[in-house]
Structure 1
Amino acid sequence: MARAHIRKRLLGVAAVAALAAGGPLSTGSADAAGAAVPAHAVTGYWQNFDNGATVQKLRDVPDDYDIIAVAFADATGTPGGVDFRLDPAVGYTSEQQFKDDIKAKQAAGKSVIISVGGQNGTVSVADDASADAFAASITGLMDEYGFDGVDIDLENGVNSTYMAKALKAVHDEKSDVVVTMAPQTIDMQSTSTEYFKTALAIKDFLTVVNMQYYNSGSMNGCDGKVYAQGSVDFLTSLACVQLEGGLDPSQVGIGVPASPKGAGSGYVEPSVVGAALDCLAKGTGCGSFKPAKTYPGIRGAMTWSTNWDAAAGNAWSKAVGPHVHGLP
């Protein structure tokens, strides 16, 4: 997730020991029990680190969020392999508390997924062996923690052939897996980009692509005109590229920062997000760009992050959540 703030990675061997001392660590698998993602959904990233935003536990994430992406899994010494460890900074005294919070969110109808990548993520899936390792480690984390799925937020390159293979392997093992993606704007400008090709390759089970409409320069809209970030036209015209490029409307979401502190640039008021969603879904609220048709099935919106949202009094989710859930 591109952003101005560098996350603190604090968990070493000593920290793991301290965490274990705070409570028993679960050794058994945790069964995922999340409900189906609603037709119009709000996604929020939950920070497993302290970067100056409000530190919170999963239980603190508002009910307006339908998908909670735990950020982030970390690369292991095995190419393609990932693992997850709680950062002591978030305040859990045991892994079991975290797993219990996941189950509670699922019981409330939410999906909790593990996000891979971020600004500092170095996971590479570029051959058969790394694709197999990625799939095995994701399904392993789903078993261990009860995650409902995986979010692909790799900002250092995606190989569509092998990432698609890995995600298909996860889906083969977990047929109800929730799969989301958060590419940067440049990664979704054309169906020939690796991110776009990955999305299309897994279209039969892809949940949503929440492109990051921030920390971006000006980009081409689907009408061939150039639009600058920070406007309703930027959101609608770039969403149109994906909608007309082969993704189903239910697989397209608008990703924005929860507050000006959540990203280096590209913050828009929640009302702008609402206007963009209305423009795409109903043809109202548009700026100078108006799509040739409407997409009432548009999935919804995403934000970085639930923590930055909390730091701003949850103003983003209080405004965007009801708007998304009220779409036709």
Structure 2
Amino acid sequence: MKSLKAKYGSDFVLTMAPETFFVQLGYQFYGSGASGGQDPRSGAYLPVIHALRDDLTLLHVQDYNSGPIMGLDNQFHTMGNADFHVAMTDMLLSGFPVAGDTNNVFPALDPSQVAIGLPASANAGNGHTTPGDVTKALNCLTKKSDCGGYEPHGSWPALRGLMAWSINWDGFNGGEFSKNFDTYYGR
């Protein structure tokens, strides 16, 4: 990746769309663990993201098709609501100790490198979030208003935006996703 970036320079766009299992789960579990009994894929994207952070254009973790994930509040959050998106995004923008080890911290990403990934419609996958809840999550993360049960560690007006799975599912759903969120970012 670094060779490609060097070859194409600023025109090179590097994005990643891993699942929460491979990123945020790393807060609680990482790799096979000390006893070797954990799923070795737990948090597996963390070293990749970290190694490429200076070249990374956009990380949009899939906040869907996920089990409950522990947030920085040490509570489990379940997909499909504003708090899940706030908690998962807060982890990327605040950084976190990997597997609870304060000597091994995944550092915060720049808000311009982070977007929230979610299904464009209920048909697109598990974890669909209503437009109202997505708006609440965006307001909480960018304006620190409209927050629910999860209080983020900051406010990030430069949060990059949203990624939807997928444009086809949005079209199938009458464009609800794009109609609701094009205007949020002033497009």
Superposition TM-score tier, normalisation by shorter sequence: 0.7 to 0.9
- In 1: Cα distance, 2:75 partner to 2:186 partner: 31
- In 1: Cα distance, 2:186 partner to 2:109 partner: 21
- In 1: Cα distance, 2:131 partner to 2:123 partner: 14
Q: What is residue 136 of structure 2 aligned with on the other side?
A: 275
Deviation string 1:101-125 (CA, Å, 9 cap, x unpaired) is xxxxxxxxxxxxxxxxxxxxxxxxx
Name the TM-score, length of structure 1 as normaliser: 0.47
- Aligned residue pair count: 159
2:173 to 312, 315, 318: 312
- Listed as ranges, the matches of 1:253-268 within 5 Å are 253-263=115-125, 265-268=126-129
Give the drift of 1:251. 1.2
Extract structure 1 runs of 4+ deviating beyond 3 A. Answer: none
Kept in 2: contact 1:273–1:320 (CA 8 A): no
Distance 1:250 1:270, change over 3 A: same
Residue identity matched to 2:128:
Y
Residue identity matched to 1:214:
Y
Aligned CA-pair RMSD: 1.4
- Provide the secondary structure at the position in 2 that maps to 1:237: helix
Name the TM-score, length of structure 2 as normaliser: 0.80
- Listed as ranges, the matches of 1:143-158 within 5 Å are none
Residue identity matched to 2:177:
W
- Provide the secondary structure at the position in 2 that maps to 1:197: helix
- Provide the secondary structure at the position in 2 that maps to 1:295: coil
1:182 to 17, 22, 29: 17
Q: Say whether 1:285 aligns with 2:135.
A: no
Q: What is residue 204 of structure 1 aligned with on the other side?
A: 54
Unaligned runs of 5+ in 1: 1-166
Give the drift of 1:271. 2.1
- Listed as ranges, the matches of 1:1-328 within 5 Å are 167-176=1-10, 177-189=12-24, 190=26, 193-245=43-95, 246-263=108-125, 265-325=126-186
Kept in 2: contact 1:210–1:254 (CA 8 A): yes
Give the drift of 1:229. 0.9
Q: What is residue 102 of structure 2 aligned with on the other side?
A: none
- In 1: Cα distance, 2:49 partner to 2:185 partner: 23
Give the drift of 1:169. 1.3
Residue identity matched to 1:271:
G
Give the drift of 1:310. 0.6
Residue identity matched to 2:68:
S
Max radius of gyration: which structure?
1
Give the drift of 1:275. 1.3
- In 2: Cα distance, 1:206 partner to 1:200 partner: 9
- In 1: Cα distance, 2:151 partner to 2:183 partner: 23
Moved more, 275-284 or 185-194: 185-194
- In 2: Cα distance, 1:306 partner to 1:197 partner: 30
Give the share of equivalent positions with the same residue, in percent. Answer: 37
- In 1: Cα distance, 2:13 partner to 2:186 partner: 19
Give the drift of 1:270. 1.8
